[in-house]
Amino acid sequence: MFNWEETDLFYWLREYVYSDLLKSKNQMSRWDCYSPKFRHRIELKCRRKHYDTLLLERKKYDALIFETGKHLDTPIYINSTPEGIYSFNLHEIKPIWVEKKLRATTEFNNYEVITKEVAFLKIEDADHLKL
């Protein structure tokens, strides 16, 4: 069981999955890292609890699809939970979008609630990278 931050996940991926993994040059980018060898543009998320479905925001999805389309890359969404690491190839899934009231951000102690368009991705549809 582990409880990682995105930096931990990045370094684990670079050691065990993508030896060429590079961080995004722009800290505010809609994607976190890139593998030139595999042409994977990757968004990372770390969850403190395990869920059978993992939330993906529509804005992040759309931005990642747009960016990968410009560069002919593959959009990848990787989540860690205390029970494992799950990788989704966003070209291989069809998200079902719903509106949900959520905190504007989980960072910076911001408790403002807003409506977001999100999808819940089933972990059974992911590649399980680590137990």
Selected residue with higher pLDDT from 131 and 5 = 5
The mean predicted confidence, pLDDT, of the chain is 90
- Looking only at Cα atoms, what is the longest distance across the chain? 40
Residue 103, pLDDT score: 78
Residue 70, pLDDT score: 93
The 8-class DSSP code of residue 1 comes to: -
Report the length, in residues, of the chain.
Answer: 131
Q: What is the mean pLDDT of residues 101-130?
A: 84
Selected residue with higher pLDDT from 30 and 62 = 62
What is the end-to-end Cα distance of the chain in Å, rounded? 8
Q: For residue 81, what are the β-bridge partners?
A: 84
CA dihedral over 63, 66, 70, 72, signed as positive or negative = positive
Dump pLDDT digits (tens) for 66-106. 999 999 999 999 999 999 999 999 999 999 999 998 877 76
Residue 40, pLDDT score: 97
**How many Cα atoms sit within 13 Å of 113 on the Cβ side?**
4
Three-class SS state of 13:
helix
Asked if residue 108 has pLDDT above 70, the reply is no
Q: For residue 34, what are the β-bridge partners?
A: 22, 41
Tokens of 58: 């529509």
Which architecture, in CATH terms, is 6-94+120-130?
3-Layer(aba) Sandwich (3.40)
Residues 6+ apart with CB under 8 A from 114: 101, 102, 103, 104
Asked if residue 1 has pLDDT above 60, the reply is no
Dump pLDDT digits (tens) for 31-66. 899 999 999 999 999 999 999 999 999 999 999 999
Residue 106, pLDDT score: 64
